[in-house]
Amino acid sequence: MLPSQDDATWTSAPADRMQPPAGRNCNKSAVPLQVSVIDMAQPEPAAAAQLREACTTTGFFYVSNHGVSDDLVQRQFAQWHQFFNLPECTKLALKAGKSNRGYYPVGAGSAKNPFGLGDRKEGFNIYGFESDLDLPFHGRNVWPDEAVLQGFKATMLQYYDAMHAVADRVLRLIALALDLPADWFADKFDKPAANIRCVHYVEDANDPDKGIFGVGAHTDWGMLTVLATDDVPGLQIHVNGEWVDVPPRNGTFIVNLGDMTHRWTNGRFRSTLHRVVKRDSCERYSSPFFLAPNWDAKIDSTEATQRRCESDLCNQTVGSASQYSIRSRA
């Protein structure tokens, strides 16, 4: 079912994909792993070859020379610092509802924590489109008063456009990595269900053994995520039965594939389980951009790849983005 109008949660894939395979220790400490860095200034065919390797192994990679200025990234983080330091009553006046737009207080957006505890974060969602249709994720963005946070809306709209441009470039590389024309996905993403979110991880240390996470283990339900973070580590991915740290790298964004990419490629490209475990008692900020297809886009893996489906997630090959997002959030 869909989230209720009063509590649009941040869940992603079905519950059976929230857990590592049986017999593997969910709370085992992270181990080192080399996550690829893809230079987006190189020719697209070379970048696509690197991306293909990353998508079939970890499902995560960094992108450098992405074209977004560090000044813009830092300005949006500065705005978020100001927002999350506002009085709780001011933030709650912008609380998200059915449209998934606005503020989520600490603990309200659990990613299906297996211990039943709320994630140690608060957040805010802004979408790149507005609509009065009575559909999930459709609605109007909410904004803090300009007199309270001067320049907030303008900065966030500029940041959305910049991150959208990066995501579109990555989408071209995904198409090339599948031996498709670079613009193969273009007509399926010309009116995307896309949003930016800032996540503020509060000042307490996480403890996986006690079920205390910045965000619990989950996969992202959309096509791909482009993530900016501050310099506080915490992101971990689950690969080969181990939790692996993906630390911040100056001048890069972290990109991961979502469940729709996994589905569209019949499991060839990975949507990888990940979580945030913040070991120190300090704040952490991250700003992901989530890209999902048009609401009515046809998701047909037979058009994108002829490879055999190897995942239970690919139990059907044809569906719309709206059907899949509803199933994935059930």
Strand (E) or helix (H) holding 71: helix 70-84
Q: How many domains does the structure of the chain reveal?
A: 1
Assess if residue 10 is contained within a domain: no
Pairing mode of beta strands 242-245, 318-320: unpaired
- What angle in degrees, to the nearest 10, is found between the helix axes of 44-57 and 152-177? 90
Mean per-residue pLDDT of the chain: 83
Residue 262 in 3-state DSSP? helix
Mean pLDDT of 3-28: 38
Assess if residue 315 is contained within a domain: yes
pLDDT value, residue 86: 97
pLDDT value, residue 305: 65
pLDDT value, residue 321: 59
Domain assignment of residue 174, given as a range: 15-328
User: Where does residue 126 fall: left (phi above 0), alpha (psi -120 to 50 degrees), or beta otherwise?
Assistant: beta
pLDDT value, residue 91: 97
pLDDT value, residue 324: 52
Residue 63 in 3-state DSSP? strand
Say which range, 115-119, 144-148, 228-232, has the weakest mean pLDDT. Answer: 115-119
CATH code for the domain of 138: 2.60.120.330
Q: Is the pLDDT of residue 244 over 70?
A: yes
Pairing mode of beta strands 60-64, 37-39: parallel
Assess if residue 5 is contained within a domain: no
Assess if residue 91 is contained within a domain: yes
